[in-house]
Structure 1
Amino acid sequence: MSLVFPHTFVPWFRAVAPYIHAYRGETFVVGMTGELVAAGKLNAFVQDLAILHAMGIKIVLVHGFRPQVNEQLVAKGHPARYSQGMRITDAVTLDCAQEAAGQLRFEIEAAFSQGLPNTPMANAAVRVVSGNFLTARPVGIVDGVDFQHSGVVRKVDATAIQKAIDIGAIVLLSPFGFSPTGEAFNLSMEDVATSTAIALQADKLLFVCEVAGVPENPKDPNSPIDTELAVIDAQRLLAASPKPTSPLDVGFYLQHCVRACLGGVERSHILPLAVDGALLQEVYTHDGIGTMVVDEKLESLREASSDDVAGIINLIEPFERDGTLVKRDRTEIERDVELYTVIEHDGVIFGCAALYPYVEAKTAEMAALTISPAVQGQGDGDRILKRVEQRAKAQGLASIFVLTTRTMHWFIKRGFVQVDPEWLPEERKRKYNWDRRSQVLVKKLA
C-alpha cells in the first residue's frame, strides 16, 4: 500500500485544479499506436483515459494496429509492403487487418470494463461505443503504385459521434472505413484521428506514439524536445525536411498535427508512449512532456483585465499566507487590476506584477511580483520585470522601486540598489509599515 504525503500531494492537486476546470466539457481525440499495445501498456493507458473521462473530458479514441497486422502477415508468410509511408493493402493484408482490428477492439473494451478495487478503474462506469462512423475512398494508384484496399477518410459522421460522447460514452474508432457500396478500406490511424478531430472541431488531438516529440534541433534527435511549436514554425520544419515515410521520422506525426490545427483544432500533441502517464502529464502540467502544436504561442504577456482578478488572487494567495507578500483584498485588486501585468498560459495566470505610479516623484512601485512555483526558474520573472519597466518608461517615470523582505538579492542582480525608506515618495512613506521593516530597492530607468 502506497503512502500519500500531504506536503507534496496537496500542492500538486491544487496546481492541477486550473486544468481540471479548463478542460471539463472539452473534446479530446486520442490517437493510440498499436506499438503501445504491443509494449504491454494498454491497461495503464486505459486507466489514464478513464481518469480524463472522470474529469469531464469527452474522449474519442482511435487505435492503430501496425505491428499487429504485421504479426498476422508473418504468421501467414505474407510480406508487409509499403510505399511513401503507406501500407499497400492486398486481399491477404485486408484479412489480417480486419482480424487484428477485431482482436484489438476486444482487448480495449475489456480494459475499459475493469473495475478492480485499489486501481484507477474502481467505480469507473465507462461505456465504449464503436460503429461505422467513417466513410472512405481508395488511395488508388499513386506514382504507378496500386494501393488496392488502402484508403483515406472521405467523411466522418460527426453528428453520431457527438451524440455518443455527449451521453458520456467513449467512442472507439478502428482505422477502417467503408465506401457507399460497402467495400472495406484499410486506413491509417493518423488520418482517422486527424479527420475526426477536424470534423468534431475537437479542443485537442493527441498522438501517443513511438517518438518523444519534435526535437529542438531536428538534426540532433538527442536534443531536448520542443514543448511548444507554432504552426508556422512546424510548416517551415516540414518544408525543410525529407518527406516522412516512417513513424520515427520527425515529420510523420507533425504533418498531421499541422493539418489538424489548420483545420480548426486548437492544439495538437505528440507524446511518447514510452513514458508512463504521458497523457496525464501533458494535459495537467504547465509544460507537458511532448510537443504541442498551436496556431500561435499560448503563453501571453499582457496587461490584466477584470477577467483576470480571480486568477491573480489564486496566484498570490499562497504568498500572502506565508508572509512573502502583503495581504491585498479582492476589492483592492479589482480596483487596481489595470495596473497589473500578467503572464497567461493556456488560460491560466502563472505570473503577475502591479505598477503603482507616483507621478510627482517620477517613480513607481512595482508590487505583488509573483511567479507560480510550477514555472519558477524559467525566466518569467524577468519578462514581467521588463514589461513593467516599459510601462513605467511610457509614463515618463525615471525609476521604479520595490519593497521586499525576502527577495532582495533577486532584485539586486537585476540592477536595483538598496536605499533608506526615507527615500520613498511622501505618499508612500505614510503607508510604510515600519514593523515589517521591508527593504527598499530602486532601479533607475535608462
Structure 2
Amino acid sequence: MPGNSNSPGQGLRSATGTSSPRERGEEEDIAIIGGGIVGICAAALLSEVGRSVTVFDRTGICEETSSGNAAAFAFSDVLPLAHKGMIRQLPKWLADPLGPLAIPPAYLPKLLPWLIRFWRAGAAKHYEASLAAQVGMMKLAEAEWMDLLDRSGTRPMLREDGSLEFYESEAEFRASLSGWAERERFGIGFRHVEGEEMAALQPGLAPRFVKGTFVPSWKTVADPKLLGKAVWAYAEKLGARFEHARVERVEAGANGATIVLADGTRRTAKKLLIAAGAWSHLLAKDLGDRIPLETERGYNTTLPVSAFDVKRQLIFSGHGFVITPLETGIRVGGAVELGGIERPPNFARSKAMLEKAKRFLPGLDPSGGREWMGFRPSLPDSLPVIGAARAPNVYYAFGHGHLGLTQSVATGRLIRDLVLGQTPPLDLTPFRAQRF
C-alpha cells in the first residue's frame, strides 16, 4: 500500500528478485519521460511510497541539461524573471552578441510571440501573485530537498557557503536595492559588503567592484551531475528502473497512457509523467495542450579545481553569469541565448564569459577548461508547469528555467501527491498547463 504523504518512507518495496513489467509483458505502473533532475526526483519520491516507476530517457540519468548547471540551490531567488527588469535591459544586452542575452536574428520571428507573453507577464498587476507562487515553491523546495538529502544519504554533497553578488558602480548597487527589499519581506537574510569585508569573502577580486551582497543561506552542491546520479541510485534501490530509449510521441486514454518509442515499440502505463525539459511541450502537443515553452540555451566552461581559490558562488548579475566552486572544477557559466533546440552551439559565448572571469579574478588560470551548452526550458511567466494534463492519467513537470535543480524535489512532491490523490501542500493554480 502507498505510504502516508507525511511518511514517505512507508510502503517501500524491495526490487530484489523481481522482473520489470516489460519483461512480464505487462503495463507499467508509472512511466516518466525524462531522466533529468526533475524526473528522477519524482521517481524517487514515488518509489518511496511503493509505486513502480520506469524512467525513459534518450541519453541517461542527468546526462544533459541537469549535468551542467551552476549547482545552486537558489531558494532565495524568489523574484520572477519576468519582473527583474529584463525588458528594460533588452536593447543594451542585444547590442552585444556575446553579452548576457542574445537572440539569433533568424530566430527572432519565431520567438516574438513568446517575447510578447514575457512582456505581458511582467506587468505590475501580475507581480504579487507571481511572487507569492515563487515564494511558496521555494519554501517547499528547501524543506523537501533537505529531507531528501538526509533520506538518500547525499547530504555530504551539500555546501552552505553562501553567495556573493557584485556591483561595479553605486548606480548598479542602488538599482538592486528594491529586489533585496522584496526578499527581506519574506525573511531572506543578506548583508551588503564592501572594502575589506568583501575582499575577505573572496580574496583576489579585481578592484572594479565597489560593493557586494552576501547571502549566507545560499547553498550549492558538490556537482549537480553527481548529485543527480546519487539520487537516482537511491531511487533504484527502492525499485525504480531506467530504460534507454527515445520517445517519439505519447497517447492517452481513459485506462492509461501509451509511449511510442523511436523503434516503433509501444509501452503502456497506468500513469504518465512528462518531465522532458525543453522537449516537453512537443509531447504535450500530442495530448492537446499547447504550451509556450522556449529554450534558454546556457553556456559554461568548467576549469580544473586548481584554476582559482573560489570561496563560494560568485554572481556577476550585470554580466549574466556566475562562478561556482565544484568538487570537480571551477564552473564559469550562465548567460541566455534564446535560440531554440535545433541551432548548433555558439561556444564564443562561453569563451566571452571566461574572458570576463579572467578580468574579474586576475589570478584565474583559464587553461584546461571543458565547454558545455544546455537547454533551460522556460515559460514566459517564469513559473513551471506542474499538474494534470488535459488528457487523463498524464501529468506535467517542466519549464523551471534556471531553477530546475532548486525546485526539482518540490515538484516531485507535488506530482507524488497528485498521483496518490492527496492534497498538495501548494495551490497548483499558478502552475497549471491550461493557464496559457
TM-score class, shorter: under 0.3
Q: Provide the TM-score with structure 2 as the length reference.
A: 0.23
Larger radius of gyration: 1
TM-score by length of 1: 0.23
Of structures 1 and 2, the one scoring higher in RCO (CA 8 A, sep 6+) is 2
